[in-house]
């Protein structure tokens, strides 16, 4: 995975001896699953550091890197009903490490790194089969996370013009207008995010290289504008992605350290406890993770640390009744 200069500085400061050993933590108990991971039809191309979000029963996978390190405007759409892929309209601007979210079945893509390795403030929505530019972000942002509560999208963490971002960017989709709010107490990038039950969650991430992976798990309540620290993610990892199922699970999948992670761990909102799903068949980082109902899909990503790409599509169904 290519990184901008600001991140490379952090890597150099950490030394050149490779990832430091990660402390081991007790494995969480197993979560209930309705089945094992299933391998689905591969994507049309191999990519990593993609942005992914649902549109009804379809999943839009946008941007990222291809195997030669080029930043792409590629968009591919997975139809969960038919199990097939098709090409979508290309992004107006090639980006990697962008953030994506869905408002009223409409997909939005925010920021990311340009091919120059600089974060951008561009944002688009998929409208009538074409990408339409919307109000730019208040500041450039890449390698963060995004999720929607109602008509409001929260973009948290990541890299801004001055390094690790402090502010959270808040987008009112109905008004096409941005504001800012305090970001997660733990500043980090390459984190996962999800929203459920009126709460926005940020999970994992890192502060620089893969030897700076974190277990931070924090939640933002828009009603009080307050952040709360929740039980730590069991596995210390960055480069992961997250989603929320209709059953009230925050699902954190993948990541990278010395190797790509196969870990899939779920936080049960009702019990406030982490549990483990079966490991991914294809360990990956920089992947898209999307839930439709109680089924979790993982799309693309890097099967090894650094710039590696995959076309893998895998899914698992979790037990429980939609809330």
SS3 of 74, please? Answer: coil
At residue 30, the pLDDT reads 82
- pLDDT one-digit tens code per residue, 29-78: 888 666 799 999 999 999 999 999 999 999 999 999 999 999 999 999 99
At residue 33, the pLDDT reads 67
- pLDDT range class, residue 316, cuts 50, 70, 90: very high
Query: 166 in a domain, yes or no?
Result: yes
Check whether 20 has a pLDDT greater than 70. no
pLDDT above 90 as % of the chain: 87
Query: 297 in a domain, yes or no?
Result: yes
Q: Mean pLDDT, the chain, as a whole number? A: 92
Which structural domain, as residue segments, surrounds residue 92? 28-317
Check whether 10 has a pLDDT greater than 90. no
Which has the minimum average pLDDT: 11-15, 177-181, 237-241, 319-323?
11-15
Q: In CATH, what number is assigned to the domain containing residue 284?
A: 2.120.10.80
Query: 18 in a domain, yes or no?
Result: no
- pLDDT range class, residue 27, cuts 50, 70, 90: confident
Average pLDDT estimate for 300-315: 98
Query: 81 in a domain, yes or no?
Result: yes
Beta strands in 104-244 (DSSP E): 106-110, 123-127, 130-133, 145-149, 152-156, 159-160, 163-164, 167-172, 177-182, 192-196, 199-203, 217-221, 226-229, 241-244
- pLDDT one-digit tens code per residue, 164-211: 999 999 999 999 999 999 999 999 999 999 999 999 999 999 999 999
Query: 246 in a domain, yes or no?
Result: yes
Query: 206 in a domain, yes or no?
Result: yes
Query: 101 in a domain, yes or no?
Result: yes
Cα–Cα distance between 313 and 38 in angstroms, integer?
Answer: 9
Provide the number of structural domains found in the chain.
1
Query: 3 in a domain, yes or no?
Result: no
């Amino acid at each position: 995975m290519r990184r901008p200069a600001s991140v490379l500085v952090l890597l150099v400061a950490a030394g050149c001896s490779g990832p430091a050993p990660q402390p081991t933590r007790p494995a969480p108990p197993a979560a209930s699953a309705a089945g094992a991971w299933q391998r689905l039809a591969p994507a049309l191309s191999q990519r990593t550091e993609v942005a992914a979000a649902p549109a009804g029963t379809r999943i839009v996978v946008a941007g990222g890197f291809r195997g030669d390190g080029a930043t792409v405007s590629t968009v591919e759409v997975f139809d969960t009903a038919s199990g097939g892929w098709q090409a979508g309209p290309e992004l107006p601007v090639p980006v990697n490490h962008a953030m994506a979210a869905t408002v009223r079945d409409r997909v939005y893509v925010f920021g990311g790194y340009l091919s120059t390795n600089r974060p951008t403030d561009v944002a688009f929505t998929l409208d009538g089969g074409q990408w339409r530019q919307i109000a730019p972000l208040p500041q450039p942002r890449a390698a963060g996370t995004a999720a929607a509560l109602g008509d409001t999208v929260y973009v948290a963490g990541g890299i801004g013009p001055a390094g690790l971002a402090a502010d959270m960017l808040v987008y009112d989709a109905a008004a096409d207008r941005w504001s800012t709010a305090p970001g997660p107490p733990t500043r980090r990038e390459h984190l996962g995010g999800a929203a459920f039950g009126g709460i926005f969650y940020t999970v994992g991430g890192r502060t620089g290289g893969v030897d700076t992976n974190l277990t931070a798990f924090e939640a933002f309540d828009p009603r009080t504008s307050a952040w709360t620290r929740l039980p730590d993610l069991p596995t210390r990892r960055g480069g992961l992605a997250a989603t929320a199922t209709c059953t009230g699970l925050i699902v954190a999948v993948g990541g990278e350290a010395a190797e790509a992670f196969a870990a899939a761990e779920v936080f049960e909102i009702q019990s406030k406890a982490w549990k483990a799903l079966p490991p991914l068949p294809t360990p990956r980082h920089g992947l898209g993770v999307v839930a439709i109902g109680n089924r979790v899909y993982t799309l693309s990503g890097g099967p090894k640390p650094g710039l590696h790409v995959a076309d893998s599509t895998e899914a698992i169904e979790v037990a429980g009744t939609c809330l």
